[in-house]
């Protein structure tokens, strides 16, 4: 077996799971989900059909990943965060053919208890604060917090808030990587 799983985990037939992935207590991976290499699926996680996780994705305990969610490599999903897939759910109305997609970009982090309303993508290296409710698309490197989530700055790839000078330049204090802010868009220079 290329991956490891706790005996209480349920893995439906038809899942694709990459080498080195670990699946913990009471998690349920449903038919047709695709899990990359070296992922960590915490306890009590639900991964619905069609969900795609890239390599090295960390899914903390009690996360719900519903059909329509795709995460690129190196994404961090904090404890109890939730993704929705229907904008107007009703118990008596079947909307399975109306699932909206949500893409989480490479290196993004989503904090504990955050909710991502479907159809709103999260940019590369964006940082969603704990408890935030995301109701719109989040640009790359953006820091968003609150309910509804509002932008509160920009983050480096190492997870530090960037402080831009008058020229729109900033340096990550940990990595030394340099960033440019131009027209409300951040790019890494080095």
DSSP 56-95: T-EE-TT-EE-TTEEE-TT-EE-TT-EE---SS-BTTB--
Task: Give the pair of three-digit tokens for residue 112.
Answer: 């504990």
pLDDT at 137: 98
The answer to whether residues 88 and 122 touch, using CB atoms and an 8 Å cutoff, is: no
pLDDT at 1: 62
- Cβ neighbourhood burial of 35 (10 Å; 0-12, 13-18, 19+): buried
What is the number of other CB atoms lying within 10 angstroms of the CB of residue 150? 13
Rg over CA atoms, the chain? 17
Rounded CA-CA distance 134/121 in Å is 9
Rounded CA-CA distance 43/9 in Å is 8
pLDDT at 121: 97
- Cβ neighbourhood burial of 97 (10 Å; 0-12, 13-18, 19+): exposed
The answer to whether residues 126 and 144 touch, using CB atoms and an 8 Å cutoff, is: yes
Q: Which of 142, 89, 85 is nearest to 116 (CA)?
A: 85
Rounded CA-CA distance 46/22 in Å is 14
* Weakly modelled stretches of the chain, pLDDT under 50: none
Residues in contact with 112: Cβ distance below 8 Å, sequence separation at least 6, in sequence order: 60, 78, 79, 80, 81, 130, 131
pLDDT at 138: 98
Rounded CA-CA distance 84/52 in Å is 15
Rounded to an integer, what is the distance from CA 77 to the centroid of its chain?
5
Residues in contact with 22: Cβ distance below 8 Å, sequence separation at least 6, in sequence order: 3, 4, 5, 39, 40, 41
Where does the chain hold its CATH 2.160.10.10 domain(s)? Answer: 1-155
CATH number, domain 1-155, options 2.60.40.1290, 2.160.10.10, 1.10.10.10, 3.50.50.60:
2.160.10.10
């Amino acid at each position: 077996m290329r991956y490891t799983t706790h005996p209480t985990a349920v893995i439906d037939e038809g899942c694709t799971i990459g080498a080195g992935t670990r699946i913990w207590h009471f998690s349920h991976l449903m038919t047709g989900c695709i899990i990359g290499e070296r992922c960590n699926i915490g306890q009590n996680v639900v991964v619905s059909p069609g969900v795609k996780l890239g390599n090295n994705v960390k899914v903390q305990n009690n996360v719900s990943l519903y059909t329509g969610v795709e995460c690129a490599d190196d994404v961090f999903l904090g404890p109890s965060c939730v993704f929705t897939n229907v904008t107007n759910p009703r118990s008596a109305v079947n909307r399975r053919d109306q699932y909206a997609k949500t893409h989480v970009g490479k290196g993004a982090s989503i904090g504990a208890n955050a909710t991502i309303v479907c159809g709103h993508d999260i940019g590369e290296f964006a940082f969603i604060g704990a408890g935030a409710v995301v109701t719109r698309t989040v640009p790359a490197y953006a820091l968003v917090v609150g309910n509804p989530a509002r932008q509160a700055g920009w983050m480096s790839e190492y997870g530090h808030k960037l402080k831009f000078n008058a020229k729109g330049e900033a340096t990550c204090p940990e990595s030394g990587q340099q960033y440019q802010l131009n027209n409300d868009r951040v790019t890494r220079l080095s």
